[in-house]
Structure 1
Amino acid sequence: MEYRDLPCRKNVRTILLNPHNQILLMKVALPDRTFWCTLGGGINPNESFEDAAQRELFEEAGYRPEELSQGHLVWKGQHILMRHGTLSLLDESFLLYRVTRVDFTTLHQTDEEKAVVKEMRWWTLEEINSSRQFIVPPRLGEHLERLLTLGPPSSPELIQLTDES
């Protein structure tokens, strides 16, 4: 089976930074794996990347669109995984946002999110780089350091989303 034959889900992920350049990650526990990841999810039909990202940030962390900086599309990537029993291609776009308040709420999470999101917290670059936890995307520390040093790229960078070397 080739990639183009797989069902494709378009996702938006967010690089949400606070004034201390910490990134908000959530710990997701699935039946077969547990990992930390950026906030985000599927893009609904007729929804833009930015609209989907803002919806996800409200659902998952309680941030309203007016609390977010202008979004920048910074990374893109694809990977294959088993989703609801079906091998699927995930096409992921990562948008950078900044917020001024560090407190967040999980009150607006969907039932599906409440079932799998076990924890959310702000991480420093140093914590990401020294962590033994499984964090996705792989090499998040390296990508984040480049983003913090150079700023958003003029066009999205293609990043690897699997942990294979």
Structure 2
Amino acid sequence: MTVLDRRAARVVLVDGSGRALLLRGTDPARPSLRWWFTPGGGLSPGESPAEGAARELFEETGLRVPPADLGRPVWQQVTEFSYDGRDYRQDQEFFYLQVPSWEVSTAGMDAEEQRTIDGHRWWSAAELDATDETFYPLELASLLRRLISC
């Protein structure tokens, strides 16, 4: 089986109450599965991680920020997953951005995002610790605690 390697960038978007925004999605090949994840996605050719993170943040939440406002990545991870019948190995960088509040707009989502993202919610670290729902990255609660304590 062929594994597709790709680079991605994600944003840990945190509101004034210290909660991270997560999107809820599904896999077209396994529509009964649902999970929560941070805004972000694969990089376009020639795109820097900060540029990709800013683009994805706007597409998925409506929040437009200059890539420079994201600063440097706060965390990096290599993850492997299956999506729509393909296997991926994804090297992803996470950026941190805090806003007082934000009303999510999904108007900028592309067709694939509209097909697979069906909700959003702001989560505290304690709620992530207590939930039985699946979310990624698995280390998000501890990462969130570290980021908001800085």
Structure 1 length normalisation: TM-score?
0.80
Residue 26 of structure 1 pairs with residue 32 of structure 2: no
Residue 69 of structure 1: how far off its partner (Å)? 4.4
Residue 125 (structure 1) aligns with: 125
Q: How does 1:63-102 map to 2 (within 5 A)?
A: 63-65=63-65, 69-102=69-102
Answer whether contact 2:50 2:70 (CA < 8 A) is retained: no
Unaligned 5+ segments in structure 2 are none
Q: How does 1:29-40 map to 2 (within 5 A)?
A: 29-30=26-27, 31-32=29-30, 33-40=33-40
Residue 64 of structure 1: how far off its partner (Å)? 1.1
Return the alpha-carbon distance in structure 2 between the equivalents of residues 86 and 132 of structure 1: 26
Q: Which amino acid aligns with 1:106?
A: T
Residue 138 of structure 1 pairs with residue 138 of structure 2: yes
Q: Which amino acid aligns with 1:142?
A: S
Percent identity over paired residues: 29
Unaligned 5+ segments in structure 1 are 152-165
- Tell me, what secondary structure is at the counterpart of 1:50? helix
Return the alpha-carbon distance in structure 2 between the equivalents of residues 148 and 101 of structure 1: 15
Q: Which amino acid aligns with 1:91?
A: D
Residue 34 of structure 1: how far off its partner (Å)? 1.2
Residue 81 of structure 1: how far off its partner (Å)? 2.1
Return the alpha-carbon distance in structure 2 between the equivalents of residues 147 and 83 of structure 1: 29
Residue 101 of structure 1: how far off its partner (Å)? 3.2
Higher gyration radius (CA): 1
Structure 2 length normalisation: TM-score?
0.87
Deviations 1:2-39 (A, max 9, x none): xxx84311011110011211111001122422100101
Cα root mean square deviation, aligned? 1.9
Residue 52 (structure 2) aligns with: 52
Answer whether contact 1:29 1:116 (CA < 8 A) is retained: yes
Q: Which amino acid aligns with 1:57?
A: L
Residue correspondences, number = 146
Q: Which amino acid aligns with 1:21?
A: G
